[in-house]
């Protein structure tokens, strides 16, 4: 099942994608793709609905972030050995965790804004995990039982803010528009996160072409691990790291500028298309 949120920013409505790729309105069934609507029982109920019984959404509606009311937006750093190498950093013995501000979340095709004073805004295609059940001290073996589904995240990053301004990485990770999510939340019965092709192009040139199979710490371990340090709530998002090909790792480094166009895709999870503008 592919769940979406559509409409104007801040007023998105819930929907699902039917077999013909059209958006169907779920407003009469759930208020949002958020919180308890992502739990096992709720998803079971949504899956039992005949999409043809739901109203069609007119074509051309904006697609918003596929999850609403995100409480925790947790990111995992250096989770691909080849990306760690291009960053000049060692693979960590345990996952590196940091926060992205929930206020940075935007729709998959919304404009990405370069922050004021930025000279090193970068891209990162990532597989994001959406939590469906409250998770605390869960085992690795049971971890996927707490996951509602998966989506694409473009983990936009300002490298100077992140690494040259002292303190924690979150300085360069939570600027406005730095968290495009979607277009769809795809439920776990349709996606195996172990081996998904991941691609990102800038102005038509592929710069990232990797696979989730090269993650150092896999999805079940990450959900288990993070739940040892905090309670994960339904609708929380974990973005799991990026394969190589980011601008920071190029020689010479290459960063986003106003007018650039990104296309971001993960097999089975759809495509994001963003234009960059000066914030």
Same domain, 134 and 39: no
In a domain, 137, yes or no: yes
In a domain, 193, yes or no: yes
Q: What is the mean pLDDT of residues 25-29?
A: 97
In a domain, 9, yes or no: yes
| Confidence tier at 159 by pLDDT (50, 70, 90) | very high
Same domain, 88 and 221: yes
Give the closest residue to 63 by CA, choosing from 12, 128, 118, 1: 12
| Confidence tier at 168 by pLDDT (50, 70, 90) | confident
Evaluate whether 182 touches 152 at the Cβ level (below 8 Å): yes
Pair type for strands 179-180 and 105-106: parallel
Evaluate whether 200 touches 154 at the Cβ level (below 8 Å): yes
In a domain, 65, yes or no: no
In a domain, 91, yes or no: yes
Whole-structure pTM value = 0.96
Give the closest residue to 1 by CA, choosing from 264, 241, 186, 266: 186
Residue 167: pLDDT above 90?
Answer: no
Sign (positive or negative) of CA dihedral 264, 12, 50, 55: negative
Task: Name, in order, each residue with C-beta under 8 angstroms of 223's C-beta and a sequence gap of 6 or more.
Answer: 129, 131, 135, 138, 143, 144, 146, 147, 232, 238
Q: What is the pLDDT of residues 177-219, one digit of tens each?
A: 999 999 999 999 999 999 999 999 999 999 999 999 999 999 9
Same domain, 91 and 142: yes
Interatomic CA distance for residues 262 and 274, integer angstroms: 5
Q: Classify 183 in phi/psi space as left (phi over 0), alpha (psi -120 to 50) or beta.
A: alpha
Same domain, 80 and 44: no
**pLDDT of 85:** 75
Q: What is the mean pLDDT of residues 110-134?
A: 97
Same domain, 121 and 41: no
Give the closest residue to 75 by CA, choosing from 163, 154, 182, 183: 154
Within a 10 A sphere around the Cβ of 114, how many other Cβ atoms? 22
Same domain, 161 and 238: yes
Q: Mean pLDDT over all residues of the chain?
A: 96
Phi and psi torsions of 122, nearest 5°: -125, 170
Q: What's 116's domain CATH number?
A: 3.90.850.10
Residue 82: pLDDT above 90?
Answer: no
Quote the number of domains for the chain: 2
Same domain, 11 and 78: no
Same domain, 149 and 36: no
Query: Which residue range(s) make up the domain with 127?
Result: 73-278
Phi and psi torsions of 50, nearest 5°: -75, 115
């Amino acid at each position: 099942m592919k769940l979406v949120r559509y409409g104007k920013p801040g007023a998105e409505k819930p929907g699902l994608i039917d077999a013909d790729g059209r958006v169907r309105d779920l407003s009469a069934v759930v208020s949002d793709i958020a919180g308890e609507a992502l739990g096992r029982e709720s998803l079971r109920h949504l899956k039992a609905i005949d999409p043809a019984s739901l109203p069609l959404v007119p074509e051309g509606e904006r697609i918003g972030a596929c999850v609403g009311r995100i409480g925790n937006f947790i990111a995992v750093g250096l989770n691909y050995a080849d990306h760690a190498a291009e960053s000049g950093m060692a693979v960590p013995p345990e996952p590196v965790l940091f926060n992205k501000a929930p206020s940075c979340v935007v729709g998959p095709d919304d404009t990405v804004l370069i922050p004021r004073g930025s000279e090193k805004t970068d891209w990162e295609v990532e597989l994001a995990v959406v939590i469906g059940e409250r998770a605390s001290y869960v085992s690795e073996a049971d971890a996927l039982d707490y996951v509602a589904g998966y989506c694409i995240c473009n983990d936009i990053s300002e490298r100077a803010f992140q690494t040259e301004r002292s303190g924690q990485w979150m300085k360069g990770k939570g600027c406005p528009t730095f968290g495009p999510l979607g277009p769809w939340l795809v439920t776990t019965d349709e996606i195996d996160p172990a081996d998904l092709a991941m691609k990102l192009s800038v102005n038509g040139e592929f710069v990232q072409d990797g696979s989730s199979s090269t993650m150092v710490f896999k999805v079940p371990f990450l959900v288990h691990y993070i739940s040892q340090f905090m309670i994960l709530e339904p609708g929380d998002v974990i973005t799991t790291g990026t394969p190589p090909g980011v601008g920071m790792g190029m020689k010479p480094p290459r960063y986003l500028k106003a007018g650039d166009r990104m296309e971001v895709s993960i097999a089975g999870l759809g495509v994001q298309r963003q234009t960059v503008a000066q914030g």
